[in-house]
Amino acid sequence: MFNKVLIKEYNQKYPNKIKLNTAAEVYAEMYDIRQNDREFLVVFHLNTKNQVIAREIVSIGILNASLIHPREVFKHAICFSANAIILSHNHPSGDPTPSSEDLQVTKTLRDVGSLIGIDVLDHVVVCENDYYSLRMHDHDIF
């Protein structure tokens, strides 16, 4: 599978503290993930000004699924003292429409984040040429 060196290349710290204000900006920051042949779940850790502290790959799945557990999603958010997170993952199929599992996982992570005081601001599903923001499409999650 993937070795730690490859994972380290994808994980980045953001010394310039860029802001992610829109789903389009999240899509742009996912440039290196969008065309992968398996699902990658990425978490953007944000400070109190919604500036990116770090970007972390939390899970690498298979063609059409990824195992996600709140423990892994929030582990580094707590360590980084993140105020909020933005979730993003790719759909290798080329269709960014979220699955029912995507919606359920997002609701679960939103609830866990609420309990521990780390807001989940959005979940952006990306593919090569398009993206889908769960916040923008009001799926009764945010």
Interacting residues of 21 by C-beta distance below 8 A, sequence separation 6+: 50
Please check whether residue 127 is in contact with residue 91, taking contact to mean a CB–CB distance below 8 angstroms: yes
| Average pLDDT value for the chain | 88
Residue 79's pLDDT is what? 92
pTM here is 0.88
Give the pLDDT confidence of 101-110 residue by residue, as tens digits: 999 999 999 9
Helices (H), the chain: 4-10, 23-29, 70-79, 100-116
pLDDT of residue 14: 65
pLDDT per residue as tens digits for the range 31-40: 999 999 999 9
The rounded distance, in Å, linking the Cα atoms of 98 and 105 is 11
Domains and CATH numbers, the chain: 4-133 (3.40.140.10)
Residue 115 has φ and ψ, to the nearest 5°, of: -65, -35
Model confidence over 27-61: pLDDT tens digits?
A: 999 999 999 999 999 999 999 999 999 999 999 98
Residue type, 7: I
